Structure 1
Amino acid sequence: MEPLKVENITVAYHKKPVLMEVGFSVPEGKLISIVGPNGAGKSTLIKAILGLVPRASGTVEIYGKPYRSQRKLVGYVPQRGEVDWDFPTNALDVVLMGRYGHVGWVKRPSKKDTAFAEECLDKVGMSAYAGRQISQLSGGQQQRVFLARALAQDATIYFMDEPFVGVDAATEKAIITLLDELKSQGKTVLVVHHDLQTVPEYFDWTLLVNKRLLEAGPTESVFTVENLQKTYGGRLAFLKKGTALVEQ
């Protein structure tokens, strides 16, 4: 069964359409990039799927059932800029928040939950910072903590909004290692991604979005000069060896 099926999603802000009649499904166990120019509605698409912004129309199914009934199967990593990093909490507590879908908001996490959260921190190389206030972490470290929180959700399908933005090379490598591990476990991961150079290297499947879904399919067949020109128009700075490298 398809891990995600989206039908006819339309989102409008102040009566101005941001996404129009977007529909697609994705295969299981793939790393999937969501690619398009700035303002194309990529982040809005993820938020509309997750019910974080209202949809004018459209439906979402996770493994054949409405999203509301399948939330425990879904993990989410928001953009770093949307998080209140001054909130007084430490790295381990942030990761433990990922367990609330399993234990509920009333019950306290068990020792088993805490041990699992510590294991997730270790996977992203942040064990030494478990007790550190999140405001005292670097941008890359903060991103790793939120990736660990998503891991703690123990989800089946993940949505990540620009996880590579503003991180150092070590964190980018850690993210890729984590994505590959999730894929090896049969998980499905959708990532809003801006770096066109790394799309063919990192992702199996690609969605090209510019207010509408223009193409969707295996990266090797979708990520072409023709399709990128259709998606970006005149915003591609240059093309090299058949691949778009830079977006203006």
Structure 2
Amino acid sequence: MNSVEIKGLTVAYHRKPVLIDVAFSVPKGKLIGIVGPNGAGKSTLIKAVLGLIPRSSGDVKIFDKSYSPKSKTVGYVPQRGSVDWDFPTNALDVVLMGRYGHLGWFKRPSKKDVAFAMECLDKVGMTQYASRQISQLSGGQQQRVFLARALAQEAEVYFMDEPFVGVDAATEKAIISLLNELKEQGKTVLVVHHDLQTVTEYFDWTLLLNRKTIAYGPTADVFNVDNLQLTYGGKLSFLEKDKMLIQP
């Protein structure tokens, strides 16, 4: 059974197609990179899959069941730029939000939930910042807190929208280590990613996207010059062998 199955996914804004007939399936326990130029619809794809924006057409199944936003099976890490970091809450409370799917909205977290949330913070190296207001954290620290919230959901499938953007090298290393740990536990992780230099290092499978599926499959098979040129067009240049540069 595939963990994620997407068929004929089309999204349009003001009748202008943003995604066109996107289809792919994700085997369980894989780390998937979603790669493409700005405006290719990468973030739109995740939001449409999760029901955060309407789909014009298409079907989404998680473990062979139609996806519901109430599902406890799916975790989500949004782009940092889409979050109101001035909201008056601390890091621990943010992580506890990941438990609401298990608790229900009207139940208070138990001591066990708090202890588990602290374990999640510990996994991302943020235990000492548990009581710190999120607005007082650095960009990398904020991203770690949101990863801890996703861990607290105890999901089977994770969607992450550019988790490496705006973080330092140490945080990037910590994030990829965590993603590999999730994969080793049999979890499936789909990541919107922009750095072409690390795709072959980070991801088992890759989706090359530019409004429609350009190529999809094991990274070693699809991440090549021909497919990248189809995806990025004239915006992609090669400085030397295996070194790629996206031109503005």
TM class, shorter-chain normalised? over 0.9
In the alignment, the residues of structure 2 paired with residue 113 and residue 247 of structure 1 have an alpha-carbon distance, to the nearest angstrom, of 44
Shift of 1:71: 1.5
Spell out the pairing of 1:71-82 with structure 2 (5 A cutoff). Answer: 71-82=71-82
Q: Which residue of 1 aligns with 2:204?
A: 204
Contact 2:50 2:69 in 1 (8 A): no
Match of 1:25 in 2: 25
Asked if the contact 2:51–2:69 (Cα under 8 Å) also holds between the matched residues in 1, the reply is: no
Q: Distance in 1 between matches of 2:239 and 2:19?
A: 27
Change (3 A) 1:244 1:13: farther
Q: Which amino acid aligns with 2:108?
A: R
Report what 1:12 is aligned to.
12
Provide the secondary structure at the position in 2 that maps to 1:3: strand
**In 1: Cα distance, 2:29 partner to 2:4 partner:** 11
Cα root mean square deviation, aligned = 1.0
1:65 paired residue number: 65
Distance 2:114 2:213 in 1: 41
Partner of 1:103: 103
Q: Is the 8 A contact 1:225 1:244 kept in 2?
A: no
Say yes or no: does 1:246 pair with 2:242: no
Pair 194,164 (structure 1): closer, same or farther in 2 beyond 3 Å: same
Secondary structure of 1:44's counterpart equals: helix
Tell me the distance in 2 between the aligned counterparts of 1:119 and 1:108. 18
Q: By how many angstroms is 1:173 displaced?
A: 0.6
- Once the 2 structures are TM-superposed, how far is the Cα of residue 246 of structure 1 from its aligned partner? 1.9
Count of aligned residue pairs for this structure pair: 247
Percent sequence identity is 75
* 1:169-209: CA deviation from partner (whole Å, max 9, x where unpaired): 11001101100100110100000000000000000000000
Q: Does 1:168 align with 2:160?
A: no
Distance 2:57 2:8 in 1: 7
Q: How does 1:49-64 map to 2 (within 5 A)?
A: 49-64=49-64
Counterpart in the other structure of 1:228: 228
The code of the aligned residue for 1:84 comes to D
Q: Is this contact kept in 2: 1:77–1:160, CA < 8 A?
A: yes
Partners of 1:231 and 1:222 in 2: how far apart?
11
Maintained 8 Å contact 2:70/2:101:
no
**1:90-129 to 2 correspondences below 5 Å:** 90-129=90-129
Aligned to 1:138: 138
Task: Write the distance in 1 (CA, Å) between the matches of 2:130 and 2:39.
Answer: 36
CA distance in 2, matches of 1:10, 1:98: 29
Q: Give 3-state SS (helix, strand or coil) of 2:112's partner.
A: helix
